[in-house]
Amino acid sequence: MAAEKTPPPLPRRGPAPAVDSMTNAELTRLIEAEHPYRGRALFELSDRIATDDDAATKVAMLSRLSSLRNARVFDPVSLAWSAIIALLAGGTEHARASAYEAFGALDVSEQEKFLKYLEVASIEEAHPRYA
């Protein structure tokens, strides 16, 4: 049996990591590790949603992390909300289905706040643009 290869350690200090050259798995690992540049990594992964179902799946999964639910981009928008908005804007069936699942994982009061923020009555009515 071959020994498992240990991934290299995540950068902790210094310049921002080159997220645009990282794989989806590397970006996911950076986000899960609560790296200081996790927001940048999440936005890079979100930029890939329209052309990469794996990125959409990972963004939906990451939106469930309490660290992203508690990290505010600005009040009331969390990194988790940003992830769901990116999924909604992704433009593919897979991305929207992933957004609905991620939205469903929010508690009811968070869902209500999210819909109010997007100014819609239901998640299916939300069609944000993501630039």
Per-block average pLDDT, block size 10, for the chain (131 residues)?
A: 71 80 97 93 96 98 95 90 96 96 96 96 91 56
CB atoms within 10 A of CB 74: 7
Tell me if the pTM is above 0.75. yes
Q: What pLDDT, on a 0 to 100 scale, did the predictor assign at position 7?
A: 78
Predicted confidence at residue 11, as pLDDT, reads 60
Q: Which residue ranges make up each domain of the chain?
A: 23-125
pLDDT in tens, 67-98: 999 988 888 999 999 999 999 999 899 999 99
Written as one string, the DSSP assignment of 76-98 is TEEHHHHHHHHHHHT-SHHHHHH
